[in-house]
Chains A and B, each alone.
Chain A
Amino acid sequence: MTAMVDDIERELLQTVRQMRATRIAQVLDFARFLISVDPAPVNGEEQELSDWDIQVQQVDQEQRAYERQHKEILAQYRGRYVAMRHGKVIDHDIDRVALRRRIRKQYGNVPFFFTLVEDEPVQTFWMRSPHLVTDET
């Protein structure tokens, strides 16, 4: 397992070195996000994923499928909310809450990827709330 991880790390490094700086920043962002939803175990052993963690992984897969098809989906659903599963748009609506309720009613607690279809495949939000930190050293 360690050897495989070493191989992947080496390949990742080689791949990143071929990228533009902006792409490298995106890879770093995504790596940090993966750590946030699935942190590495402290003792080095693989932990069993909870159902919640597995759902997060499944939705992430759907999001990657969305990003790959973004151009086509944008052409068809711009400004609408879509629900995706198995790489396909299952339903859409202009009302976010109505779409989610309809999907939950029909499919139950099955992981879906929900998004508003916009020009950028990954939605960006702004946060302008810095905290003043006192140096206590």
Chain B
Amino acid sequence: MIQDYDRQRLPPLPVLDVWLAIPDSSDWHGPYTAMVDSGADLTIVPLAFLRQLNAPYLKRVTLRTQWSQRQSVGLYEVDVRLGDLVFPGLDVAGDIASSEILLDRNVLNRLDLRLEGPKLRTHILGE
């Protein structure tokens, strides 16, 4: 699977189409455009998407930034699909403030991924 960067962003941004479903349902919603981001421990999904899915709520956790800001957020469970690859039972943080998905290390660390920066495209090579 190869996908072009989002060239509307400056600098251009690696993005991937993802589908979301409540666990073990295969009732996929999407595609949603997700930013490829390795800066956070876990994937972040707008709360509006999670509410639409009725995603199971797991618990409240704290998100910390490098500037020591702390934010309480809800943790939810979803299945995530990228192309033919399915990742069941992932924990994602609900985001009340944004409409963007950040695909982070709890997903990225399970992917064989290549960022071909000069050609502005992302390759998913497998799991």
Chain A residues engaging chain B, CB cutoff 8 angstroms: 25, 29-30, 32-33, 36-37, 51-52, 55-56, 59-60, 63, 96-97, 100-101, 104, 109, 111, 113-115, 122-130
Contacts and interface: CB of A to CB of B under 8 A. Distances in A.
B39 A52 contact: no
8 contacts: A25-B70, A36-B94, A56-B57, A114-B77, A123-B59, A123-B62, A126-B64, A127-B64
Q: Is the interface of A mostly helix, strand, loop or mixed?
A: helix
Contact of B51 (A25, A33, A52, A122): A52
Given A37-B74, A52-B54, A63 B59 contact: yes
Nearest to B97: A36
Given A36-B94, A104-B24, A130 B71 contact: no
A29 B64 contact: no
B89 A29 contact: no
B86 interface: no
Q: Is the interface of B mostly helix, strand, loop or mixed?
A: strand
A125 B57 contact: no
A113 B64 CA distance: 22
Given A52-B51, A129-B102, A32 B57 contact: no
Interface of B: 23-24, 37, 39-42, 44, 47, 51, 54, 56-66, 70-75, 77, 88-89, 93-94, 96, 102, 104
B42 A125 contact: yes
A29 B62 contact: yes
Contacts of B73: 33, 36
Contact of A127 (B23, B57, B60, B65): B65
A60 B75 CA distance: 11
Contacts of A115: 58-59
B89 A100 contact: yes
Contacts of B51: 52
Contacts of B93: 125
B97 to A, nearest CB: 9
A2 B54 CA distance: 32
Given A96-B89, A125-B41, A32 B58 contact: no
Contacts of A55: 56-57
Contact of A126 (B40, B44, B57): B40
